[in-house]
Chain A
Amino acid sequence: NAGVIQTPRHKVTGKGQEATLWCEPISGHSAVFWYRQTIVQGLEFLTYFRNQAPIDDSGMPKERFSAQMPNQSHSTLKIQSTQPQDSAVYLCASSHDRDEQYFGPGTRLTVL
């Protein structure tokens, strides 16, 4: 069991560039969650999928952020026209039942 895999581990972008973050959930887990963590805001929910279908995106900034889960083995979070305030650690978690969520190592995004 390799755990949740996130790539890249670190990403640096210039203001206005696009960033795509990848997540591979634990095999057999049917739900994938995206969170982000900053010192100021703490851990914030962004969006989640169950059986690849988007269920709740209430935490996603409506502009510039989008997420997809094209198959059961990976999900992507895309941020268009990145801004310095998007700098954060983006965490992916997966779950095989309705409770326990297991986090990946995160992607540290730095927008210059």
Chain B
Amino acid sequence: QQQVRQSPQSLTVWEGETAILNCSYEDSTFDYFPWYWQFPRESPALLIAIRPVSNKKEDGRFTIFFNKREKKLSLHITDSQPGDSATYFCAASTSSSFSKLVFGQGTSLSVVP
């Protein structure tokens, strides 16, 4: 059972456009949602994260929008750059204590110059 789902599987945008990556989850006990990005031949690196106490988290060109009622979140990348080309993973955990991350299958983003 896939508890965290991502769409689309792949996405291509032009440089300067806004990329929108979607994520949904099933387990209502999840209360911490990090996004990781992964470049070829590297390991995942933490990009940005959100807790449901807020419905928006911004860090530079990267913004998470969170909808607790619908159990959905999205990552918006404004002014996309070729260097943003990577696979993006949405993850979730129950952070009442240290807890495992459940990952989505990832979205492969290509930013074309």
CA gap between A33 and B98 in the complex, in Å: 10
Chain A residues with CB below 8 A from B98, complex form = 30-31, 48, 50, 55, 95, 98
Q: Verify A59–B100 contact, CB threshold 8 A.
A: yes
A12 at the binding interface (Cβ < 8 Å): no
Size of B's binding interface in residues, CB under 8 A: 24
Shortest B43–chain A CB gap in Å is: 4
A91 at the binding interface (Cβ < 8 Å): yes
A99 at the binding interface (Cβ < 8 Å): yes
Chain B residues with CB below 8 A from A30, complex form = 98
Q: Verify B89–A56 contact, CB threshold 8 A.
A: no
Point out the residue from A45, A50, A101 that lies within 8 Å of B102, measured CB to CB: A45
Shortest A61–chain B CB gap in Å is: 16
Name the segment of B44-52, B65-73, B78-86 touching the other chain.
B44-52
Q: Verify B42–A100 contact, CB threshold 8 A.
A: no
CA gap between A13 and B64 in the complex, in Å: 42
A-B residue pairs in contact (CB < 8 Å), sample of 29: A30-B98, A33-B100, A42-B104, A42-B105, A43-B101, A44-B103, A45-B101, A48-B98, A48-B100, A50-B98, A56-B100, A89-B43, A91-B43, A98-B95, A98-B96, A98-B99, A99-B34, A99-B49, A99-B95, A100-B34, A100-B46, A100-B49, A101-B34, A101-B46, A103-B36, A103-B44, A103-B45, A105-B42, A105-B43
